[in-house]
Amino acid sequence: MAQKPSIPKGTRDFSPIEMARRNYIFDTIRNVFALSGFKQIETPAMETLSTLMGKYGEEGDKLLFKILDSGNYLSGIDCELLTAGEPCGKLTSQLCEKGLRYDLTVPFARYVVQHRADLQLPFKRFQIQPVWRADRPQKGRYREFYQCDADVVGSDSLLCEIELLSIIDEVFKRLGIRTVIKLNNRKILAGIAELIGAPDKIVDITVAIDKLDKIGIDNVNTELLERGLSEQSVKALQPILAIDGTTKERLLKLREVLASSETGIKGIEELETVINGAESFGVETQVELDVSLARGLNYYTGTIIEVKALDVQIGSITGGGRYDNLTGVFGMPGVSGVGISFGADRIYDVLNALNLYPETATAVTTVMFANFGHEEAMYSLSVIKKLRDAGISAEIYPDAVKMKKQMAYADTQKVPFVAIAGTEEMEAGTITLKNMIDGTQQNLSIAELINTLAIS
């Protein structure tokens, strides 16, 4: 019975050329991670739901893909739950004990706690694996996508932040993507909120600062009042909203304004250390303060990092920050960490938009041998063996069909060379090599063939 096959919405197949490009991205990131002393780990796709639930907020719990228990999963289930109008929450936890990981951070925290006896802190780990979210699929948002994370846990040294900035710098330099690294510090935001007497309004303040350029100071102030800030708070915020200039200038002015807030000053000092350290480390990417940066505000406790591409309109392509209690929820308090996550899918989109792939990021065989029949094929195999031993990818067309068809195949596969071995070549111990780009042909000894293809 024929089915019209398809894949679940929000998921993707990757074709050979897409894989070559994705591998180029992953390999680049992996190499920079390793060069920087980070060690790779992998965790299972499935985690127990008790590991995942409650870590991503109520909305996150709903977006977890849950795995139905095997066997007779309804046995022992409360019948009332089955026939009640609102089945989801409680019933699900009885039907399912496993779920697909939602990110790499919670599995990493679980890993650290579970393997604490074998781990030497500080632990610098990286992890490149897919994650799954039952999000509404839309352009650029998938239900299965890769994350590429690097984290240092077990040290609160700002050298870790500096290290991560240098990784960002190096990865995007290698990929050829021009970026700006935006930095903020949770403590600066806390200092501002403290200063204006609205410690619970951090988010509203960052939203307002973010809109300043677009809607102007008057509209921002109106909005802040609407969001429940007192007139006094809004007034107190004005000197901060007025700050402009370069990052160094703004840090100087912020230091004056926040002078009375110990937390605020601490945040500024941390940021200065990170920015100056990155300079010492030779980071060439522009690093700038962005006080409106508030990503991950519910768990970041210090540095906040976001990377934007300069030449393509797209959301942030990398982000991260410092968290002070990653593993606390699993019973191991006091472990500080800082991490970044490269958004492989968006980076892929940026590279596509700018056509920045190197020539090596293709899935092309160097030479295809035409097939003239059994004897010729056996001769070709012996030559192919020598080519492969020399590191040259080579294959033979499997069927002795018409030459036109074989050449058409070589064309669609973008094979740059076709090798022809007929009776004459077999007798002479040679190969005729056709260059598929300029159409020229050469008769070559096997040694010459290897040399020619090794250089090309």
Tell which positions 74-113 bind its own copies, by CB under 8 A.
74-75, 79, 82-83, 86-88, 91-92, 95-98, 100, 110-111, 113
114 is an interface residue for its own copies by CB under 8 A: yes
160 is an interface residue for its own copies by CB under 8 A: yes
439 is an interface residue for its own copies by CB under 8 A: no
Hey, is 129 helix, strand or coil?
strand
Q: How far apart are CA 443 and CA 449, in angstroms?
A: 9
In sequence order, what are the residues at sequence separation of 6 or more whose Cβ sits closer than 8 angstroms to the Cβ of residue 454? 390, 391, 392
Q: How many residues bind to its own copies according to rule CB under 8 A?
A: 112
Strands, E assignment, 227-378: 286-289, 303-309, 318-323, 337-343, 367-369
What six digits make up the tokens of 442? 């050469």
Q: What is the helix (H) or strand (E) element at residue 147, kind and residue range? A: strand 144-153
Q: Contact with its own copies (CB under 8 A): which of 24, 300, 323, 330?
A: 330
182 is an interface residue for its own copies by CB under 8 A: no
Q: How far apart are CA 287 and CA 290, in angstroms?
A: 10
72 is an interface residue for its own copies by CB under 8 A: yes
358: preceding bond cis by omega (within 30 degrees): no
Mark the segment that binds its own copies (CB under 8 A) among 149-157, 208-216, 264-272, 423-431.
Answer: 149-157
Q: How far is the CB of 4 from its own copies (least distance, A)?
A: 7
Hey, is 152 helix, strand or coil?
strand
Amino acid, single-letter form, for residue 18: E
Q: How far apart are CA 83 and CA 85, in angstroms?
A: 6
Q: Contact with its own copies (CB under 8 A): which of 76, 331, 334, 439?
A: 331
What is the longest distance spanned by two Cα atoms in the chain? 96
**Distances, alpha carbon 242 to alpha carbons 139, 212, 222, in Å:** 37, 10, 16
Residue 163 vs 204, nearer CB to its own copies: 163
Residue 100 vs 293, nearer CB to its own copies: 100
368 is an interface residue for its own copies by CB under 8 A: yes
Residues in a beta bridge with 138: 141
Mark the segment that binds its own copies (CB under 8 A) among 31-39, 215-223, 417-425, 444-452.
Answer: 31-39
Residue 237 vs 387, nearer CB to its own copies: 387
Q: Contact with its own copies (CB under 8 A): which of 21, 28, 105, 125?
A: 125
57 is an interface residue for its own copies by CB under 8 A: no
21 is an interface residue for its own copies by CB under 8 A: no
35 is an interface residue for its own copies by CB under 8 A: yes
Q: How far is the CB of 24 from its own copies (least distance, A)?
A: 12
Applying the rule CB under 8 A, the residues between 383 and 422 that interact with its own copies are 384-385, 388, 391-399, 409, 412-413
Question: Pseudo-torsion of CA 189, 194, 199, 202, nearest 10°?
Answer: -20
Nearest CA among 162, 135, 167, 182 for reference residue 34 = 167
Q: How far is the CB of 209 from its own copies (least distance, A)?
A: 31
Applying the rule CB under 8 A, the residues between 286 and 315 that interact with its own copies are none
Burial of 422 (0-12, 13-18, 19+ CB in 10 A): middle
71 is an interface residue for its own copies by CB under 8 A: yes
Q: How far is the CB of 54 from its own copies (least distance, A)?
A: 9
Q: How far is the CB of 266 from its own copies (least distance, A)?
A: 16
159 near 168, Cβ under 8 Å? no
Applying the rule CB under 8 A, the residues between 369 and 388 that interact with its own copies are 371, 377-378, 381-382, 384-385, 388
